[in-house]
Amino acid sequence: MKTTIPGPETRRLYGDLDKRQDPRANHFFVDYNKSVGNYIADIDGNVLLDTLCQIASMPFGYNNPRLKEAVSSPEAVSALVNRPCLGLLPDASWPKLIEESFAAVAPPGLPHVWTAMCGSCANEGAMKAAFMWYQHKKRGGAPFTPEELSSCLKNEAPGSPSLSILSFEGGFHGRAFGSLSCTHSKPIHKLDFPAFPWPIAPFPNLKYPLAAHEAENRAEEERCLKATEDAIINSKIPVAGIIIEPIQAEGGDRHASPFFFQGLQKICKKHGAALIADEVQTGMGVTGKFWAHEHWNLPTPPDFVTFAKKMAATGFYHSAETRPSAGYRNFNTWMGDPVRAIMLRTMVQHFKELDTLNLVKKSGQQLMDGLFQLSKEFPIVTNARGQGTFCAFDLPTAADSGKLIEIMRNNGVEAGTCGESTVRVRPMLIFEEQHVKVYLEVLKKSLKQLAELKK
């Protein structure tokens, strides 16, 4: 560390950026040419261990040579300069590229993929697909009626039906209008925007460690399942789908057990609603399985699984049953990006070569052991929890968590918060023993400094 953060060069650039764009959420300006692996460099010469990773999005480190080689290939250059609209004019290589990237890691039972531009787009697309599937069933597979075709252009029924997606308190699913109506993590995300009056159910508020509170947590999950079914039954707007995160990330790293998710799927099937697993943050092995919903041990797959972040590419997986009945229905100009699929193809190969799931499990256990130990040394550290390296702990107040992140950043670790007062850990897939050790040492040092400030 050479300066405090933000350093003088970052502050100067803040002033330049502020003339054209709002910089108030920026942490610092990055020198990406000097960032390597798990370490991020700022423009003032500071180098930090990165455990926020572009909001949980970096899988294999900065300036990864394999990925640089992949996106420098003639195949990638052609995709960049010609930028095909994949729904109309895909390159001849697209079917094979899908097989070697998206299909290579498809969730069991969901062989079809729809590609998109961002996590919000993925969730929006999955919700649209759920509505189409629901209505297709309702009309018994019959063609659209003339009345449906004409009324939808006026935003009227029956072509524009009154349907909803049920979501959960504390959930975060994106910033477009449909996904934002399902987002309930922080007011700042939603303030001033119109929202659909869709039903909201309580997400289990579990006690940690989970193994020490099984009976209480089971009762809480049963309460939430009953409330979810009641919300469907009592909703004035029919529920076509339920969207949920395997771990509520932006909402504060809130967990639920396989029992809860199994019960949720039963409710979906009973009421004819689609189950949408939002794996934007939890996909790509971060929980110790490639897909976090694999921990649920469901008898059948979710209806849709959305992805983005560490996958580099984005979209959702689904079955043949939920494919729209006609073309042009889930559609936009680009429908994803072949360059990102090329990156994903390389990442899938890299993932296997590095034995990534075992690395994540090993580092995750070391990380959790360290967090439990620190919670004994520092009483303000509570509710240490995690799955794989997707870990977190709580502090008493938002002011405490915010101050701790500031201290950690100036001690050489880039980190972040979520929920009300949760400190989250979102490292890369190449987060190894030495990186866990550095993180825990800096965290301990920073907690001591926070304790001194609070005296």
C-alpha to C-alpha distance for 115 and 331, rounded to whole angstroms: 10
Shared-domain flag, residues 175 and 260: yes
CB 167 within 8 A of CB 198: yes
What CATH number has the domain bearing residue 102?
3.40.640.10
Q: Which of 316, 395, 344, 390 is nearest to 129 (CA)?
A: 316
Quote the pLDDT of residue 455: 83
Domain end among 299, 318, 352? 352
| Predicted confidence pLDDT, tens digits, the chain (455 residues) | 999 999 999 999 999 999 999 999 999 999 999 999 999 999 999 999 999 999 999 999 999 999 999 999 999 999 999 999 999 999 999 999 999 999 999 999 999 999 999 999 999 999 999 999 999 999 999 999 999 999 999 999 999 999 999 999 999 999 999 999 999 999 999 999 999 999 999 999 999 999 999 999 999 999 999 999 999 999 999 999 999 999 999 999 999 999 999 999 999 999 999 999 999 999 999 999 999 999 999 999 999 999 999 999 999 999 999 999 999 999 999 999 999 999 999 999 999 999 999 999 999 999 999 999 999 999 999 999 999 999 999 999 999 999 999 999 999 999 999 999 999 999 999 999 999 999 999 999 999 999 999 88
What CATH number has the domain bearing residue 420?
3.90.1150.10
CB 125 within 8 A of CB 329: no
Confirm whether 34 is a catalytic residue. Answer: no
Distance of CA 130 to the CA centre of its chain: 19
Residue 2 lies in a domain: no
Q: Which helix (H) or strand (E) holds 151?
A: helix 146-151
CB 442 within 8 A of CB 408: yes
C-alpha to C-alpha distance for 305 and 288, rounded to whole angstroms: 17
Confirm whether 278 is a catalytic residue. Answer: yes
Residue 68 lies in a domain: no
How many angstroms separate the Cα of 39 from the Cα of each of 26, 165, 438, 446? Answer: 18, 40, 12, 19
Residue 249 lies in a domain: yes
Please identify which of the residues 145, 300, 333, 397 carries the catalytic annotation: 333
Total structural domains within the chain: 2
Quote the pLDDT of residue 451: 96
CB 129 within 8 A of CB 114: yes
Please identify which of the residues 42, 278, 394, 400 carries the catalytic annotation: 278
Shared-domain flag, residues 252 and 368: no
Shared-domain flag, residues 358 and 221: no
Structure tokens at 278: 């939002």
Confirm whether 309 is a catalytic residue. Answer: yes
Quote the pLDDT of residue 368: 98
Domain range holding 14? 8-63+354-454
Distance of CA 215 to the CA centre of its chain: 29
Residue 3 lies in a domain: no
Residue 1 lies in a domain: no
Quote the pLDDT of residue 34: 98
C-alpha to C-alpha distance for 354 and 133, rounded to whole angstroms: 39
Please identify which of the residues 309, 316, 322, 337 carries the catalytic annotation: 309
Total residue count of the chain as it appears in this document: 455
Shared-domain flag, residues 348 and 421: no
Place of tokens 């897909």: 291
C-alpha to C-alpha distance for 112 and 320, rounded to whole angstroms: 7
Shared-domain flag, residues 79 and 59: no
Residue 282 lies in a domain: yes
Please identify which of the residues 172, 316, 351, 393 carries the catalytic annotation: 172
Collapse the DSSP code of 248 into the 3-class scheme (helix H, G, I; strand E, B; otherwise coil) and give the result. strand
Quote the pLDDT of residue 66: 96
C-alpha to C-alpha distance for 304 and 275, rounded to whole angstroms: 6
Shared-domain flag, residues 296 and 426: no
Confirm whether 333 is a catalytic residue. Answer: yes
C-alpha to C-alpha distance for 385 and 38, rounded to whole angstroms: 22
Element counts in the chain: helices (H) and strands (E): 15, 14
The DSSP 8-state label assigned to residue 434 in this structure reads H
CB 283 within 8 A of CB 292: yes
Q: Positive or negative, the Cα torsion across 146, 150, 152, 156?
A: negative
Residue 69 lies in a domain: no
Quote the pLDDT of residue 343: 98
Q: CA 126, 192, 329 angle in degrees (round to 5)? A: 25
Residue 336 lies in a domain: yes
Domain end among 298, 319, 352? 352
Q: HSE on the CB side for 251, CA within 13 Å?
A: 23
